[in-house]
């Protein structure tokens, strides 16, 4: 079996708790959204009482992208008042996405960045584990936001780079790309046939913010709602297209999927597409305009006759 050494929390937790307490005591924010320890591992916590800020943790189990709680659909979170959000470098790119699309104002949220060295793939554990190539979340490798800039506070020491997983997501995407088309079709239709249309992927995504999702439109019904492979293919293709250039690769959609569809492969492919065609990389700079919705006069058109 793999090395099951436990790991201490990432540094900066004391500062994190102190900053959170000070923000609440000063009344600058009404609620802190961060991570806590629970019966089944780390999970999101909502703290309104300064005395409870010691519940905040940050370690390799803190996988969740808490930016999903900024989604304007969530009235009951907005009602709590101004939020201070604990964010990793990957998560905060989603805030930039929301800012770009005017879904949230920069002054509406306080961002407490934590320096991160990677997270676990299987994170529902009673104690944090040290990261190894076997247990690290594959998406952490090659992290390009180790020093997040879109933050109001940044705690923790710079951490070592996350270990290279046994197989990186890019390698897996390349393996798929290298396969004959029929095999790709067989792979993806088989994966999408598992889909039960719970829409967990959409609900948890910080950038799925439409008031009415296209899949819920019934007049006409563009995307079949039944969970048969034909309807599922339409749903998953549509979701991918709507996220092109916007997805921050936080991996939550795949983590939440109850039937294990490898959405991270699709997400990473989307990133390759916008990078190769439009030299675009998702970052935490809100001024960096998204590629879809934008255009250049000399955009690639090799596929057009």
Partner 1 sequence: MSDRYFISDSDLRGLAADLLGAGTDVIAPVATDICQSPSAIAASACTLDHSLVDIDYRALTDADELDLSRGLPQLSLKGYFLPEHEALCRWKQKGITVEVEEVPTEFAPRVVLAAKACDAAALEVVDKVMNWDYKDELWNGRREATTIVNLTCPMIDDSCFCTAVGTAPDDVKGADGLLTPVAGGYVYEPATDKGRALAEANKARFSNDVEADTRGREADDERAASRQRVAANLEIDAESVRDWIDTHFEDPLLSQLAIRCNGCGACTSVCPTCHCFDIVDEQEGVGRGTRRRCWDTCQAPTFTLHASGHNPRDDQHVRYRQRINHKFAIYPLKFGEVLCTGCGRCTRVCHAGQDLVEILQAIDIAARRPGDSAEPEEAAS
Partner 2 sequence: MTDAHTDFEPRITAFVCNWCTYTGADLAGTSRLHMASNVRLIRLPCTGRIDPLFIVKSFERGADGVIVSGCHPADCHYTSGNYHARRRFAVFHDIMEFIGVDPRRMTFSWVSASEGAKWKDVVDEAVRNVRELGPFEAYRALAPEAVEPWPAATSDPAGEEVAS
**Where along the sequence are the contacts to partner 2 (CB under 8 A)?**
176-177, 181-189, 193, 214, 222-224, 228-230, 233-234, 237-238, 240-241, 244-245, 266, 269-270, 273-274, 277-278, 291-297, 299-301, 303-305
Contact indicator for 206, 94 with CB cutoff of 8 Å: yes
Residue whose CB is less far from partner 2, 106 or 217: 217
81 binds partner 1 (CB under 8 A): no
CA distance 42 to 64: 9
CA distance 190 to 176: 14
**C-alpha distance from residue 132 to each of 159, 163, 170, 264 (Å):** 15, 6, 18, 20
Residue whose CB is less far from partner 2, 37 or 238: 238
- Record the tokens describing residue 19, joined without a space: 């900053």
Reported as type and span, the H/E element at residue 44 is strand 41-47
Quick one: which of 196, 214, 241, 289 contacts partner 1 (CB under 8 A)? 196
**C-alpha distance from residue 206 to each of 6, 95, 99, 115, 156 (Å):** 30, 8, 12, 20, 25
The nearest distance, CB 157 to partner 1, in angstroms, is 27
Tell me which stretch binds partner 1 (CB under 8 A): 70-78, 107-115, 242-250, 295-303.
Answer: 70-78
CA distance 202 to 242: 11
What residues numbered 172-191 form the site for partner 1, per CB under 8 A?
172-173, 175-176, 179, 183-184, 186-187, 190-191
Name the binder of 199 from partner 2, partner 1, none, CB < 5-8 A by kind: partner 1
- Record the tokens describing residue 241, joined without a space: 């297209």
Among residues 254, 214, 260, which one has the least CA distance to residue 235?
A: 214
What residues numbered 212-271 form the site for partner 1, per CB under 8 A?
216, 221, 224-228, 252, 254-260, 262, 264-265
Residue whose CB is less far from partner 2, 168 or 193: 193
Please confirm whether the linkage preceding 220 is cis (ω < 30° from 0): yes
Name the binder of 73 from partner 2, partner 1, none, CB < 5-8 A by kind: partner 1
CA distance 113 to 129: 21
Residue whose CB is less far from partner 1, 258 or 293: 258
8 binds partner 1 (CB under 8 A): no
The nearest distance, CB 159 to partner 1, in angstroms, is 23
Q: What is the DSSP letter of 208?
A: -
Name the binder of 274 from partner 2, partner 1, none, CB < 5-8 A by kind: partner 2
Name the binder of 106 from partner 1, partner 2, none, CB < 5-8 A by kind: none
Among residues 116, 78, 80, which one has the least CA distance to residue 250?
A: 116
Tell me which stretch binds partner 1 (CB under 8 A): 21-29, 147-155, 196-204, 236-244.
Answer: 196-204
Among residues 220, 30, 188, which one has the least CA distance to residue 110?
A: 30
CA distance 73 to 211: 7
Interacting residues toward partner 1 by CB under 8 A = 38-46, 64, 68, 73-77, 121, 124, 134, 138, 165-167, 169, 172-173, 175-176, 179, 183-184, 186-187, 190-191, 194, 196-201, 203-204, 216, 221, 224-228, 252, 254-260, 262, 264-265
């Amino acid at each position: 079996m793999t090395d099951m050494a436990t790991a201490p929390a990432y540094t900066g937790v004391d500062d994190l708790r102190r900053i959170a307490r000070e923000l609440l005591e000063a009344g600058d924010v009404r609620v802190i959204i961060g991570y806590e320890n629970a019966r089944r591992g780390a999970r999101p916590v909502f703290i309104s009482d300064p005395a409870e800020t010691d519940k905040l943790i940050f370690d390799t189990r803190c996988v969740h992208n808490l930016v999903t709680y900024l989604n304007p659909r969530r009235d009951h979170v907005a009602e709590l008042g101004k939020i201070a959000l604990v964010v990793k470098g990957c998560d905060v790119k989603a805030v930039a996405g929301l800012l770009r699309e005017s879904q949230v104002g920069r002054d509406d949220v306080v961002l407490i960045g934590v320096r991160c060295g990677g997270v676990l793939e299987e994170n529902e554990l009673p104690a944090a584990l040290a990261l190894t190539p076997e247990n690290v979340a594959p998406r952490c490798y090659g992290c390009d936001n180790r020093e997040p800039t879109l933050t109001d506070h940044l705690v923790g020491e710079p951490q070592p780079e996350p270990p290279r997983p046994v197989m990186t997501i890019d390698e897996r995407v390349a393996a798929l790309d290298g396969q004959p088309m029929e095999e790709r079709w067989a792979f993806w239709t088989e994966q999408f046939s598992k889909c039960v249309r719970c829409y967990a992927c959409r609900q948890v995504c910080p950038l799925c913010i439409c008031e009415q999702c296209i899949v819920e439109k019934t007049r006409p019904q563009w995307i079949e709602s039944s969970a048969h492979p034909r309807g599922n293919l339409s749903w998953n293709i549509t979701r991918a297209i709507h996220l092109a250039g916007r997805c921050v690769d936080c991996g939550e959609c795949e983590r939440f999927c109850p039937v294990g569809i490898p959405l991270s492969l699709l997400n990473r492919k989307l990133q390759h597409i916008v990078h190769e065609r439009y030299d675009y990389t998702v970052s935490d700079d809100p001024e960096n305009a998204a590629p879809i919705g934008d255009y250049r006069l000399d955009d690639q058109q090799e596929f057009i006759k």
